[in-house]
Amino acid sequence: MINEIHDDAKGRMSKSVENLESNFAKIRTGRAHPSILDAVMVEYYGSEVPISQVANINIEDARTLVVQPWEQPMVAPIEKAIMQSELGVNPVSNGHMLRIPMPPLTEERRKEFIRLARAEAESARVAIRNVRRDANSDLKDLNKDKEITDDELRRAEENIQKTTDSFIAEIDKLLSEKEASLMEI
């Protein structure tokens, strides 16, 4: 019973870290990366779909993305969707494909992205602490129902705390890596 609670908590904590990693991928650095366009949705036969489902997205060089739609009429809707997104990029169309040059980040924009990254990391930490609280609550309920002893409760809570600390450390490591890549010129 204790192991099930611990395993469930560990799984939920790792999902929080995965979610943080995907959120960090959306915060752009100065380099071109196809994941920058993941959040951009385009109208395709009456429904909103991610650009990656209607086009190939490739890296031409360190600061340029190339979007090659599978259907030629999709060039204009993709261009419109990218321009309406809040990415701060201007696609250049040649009628068959789009080139998206990534502008260099200003110091102010870098600091804004770092603030955003720190906020994402803090929300992931809060999510992990909530998982810890839920697991400890479940353990205390077991103790109250006399299914586990006080010693087992204390050991299980220490285990949950160690797991929590390791996931918080992983979040801190991811945040420092993201900050370093954002400050890179």
- CATH classification at residue 113: 1.10.132.20
* Same domain membership, residue 110 and residue 138: yes
* Same domain membership, residue 97 and residue 56: yes
Q: What is the pLDDT of residues 17-32, one digit of tens each?
A: 999 988 887 776 667 7
Last residue of a domain, one of 44, 70, 101: 101
- The structure tokens listed for 111 are 């600091």
175 confidence band (pLDDT: 50, 70, 90): very high
Q: Which domain holds residue 46?
A: 34-101
* Same domain membership, residue 70 and residue 13: no
* Same domain membership, residue 56 and residue 86: yes
**Measured between alpha carbons, how far is residue 43 from residues 22, 51, 79 in Å?**
23, 9, 11
* Same domain membership, residue 117 and residue 166: yes
185 confidence band (pLDDT: 50, 70, 90): low
* Same domain membership, residue 91 and residue 50: yes
Max CA-CA distance within the chain? 72
Cβ-based neighbour number of residue 183 at 10 Å:
15
* Same domain membership, residue 80 and residue 147: no
Residue 30: its pLDDT value, please? 65
Q: pLDDT over 90 for what percent of the chain?
A: 38
Question: Is residue 184 scored above 90 in pLDDT?
Answer: no
* Same domain membership, residue 120 and residue 88: no
* Same domain membership, residue 175 and residue 84: no
90 confidence band (pLDDT: 50, 70, 90): confident
Q: Could you please report the per-residue DSSP string of 27-69?
A: S--SS--GGGGTT-EEEETTEEEEGGGTEEEEEEETTEEEEEE
Per the CB < 8 A criterion, the answer to whether 152 and 2 are in contact is yes
Number of structural domains the chain divides into: 2
The β-bridge partners of 41 are 50
* Same domain membership, residue 125 and residue 87: no
* Same domain membership, residue 114 and residue 71: no
Residue 158: its pLDDT value, please? 94
Place of tokens 């959120």: 23
Cβ-based neighbour number of residue 113 at 10 Å:
19
* Same domain membership, residue 166 and residue 118: yes
Q: What is the pLDDT of residues 100-159, one digit of tens each?
A: 888 777 888 888 888 989 999 999 999 999 999 999 999 999 989 988 888 999 999 999
3-class DSSP assignment, residue 41:
strand
Mean pLDDT within 160-164? 95
Last residue of a domain, one of 101, 125, 157: 101
Mean pLDDT within 23-49? 80
- The structure tokens listed for 26 are 């959306």
Last residue of a domain, one of 50, 69, 101: 101
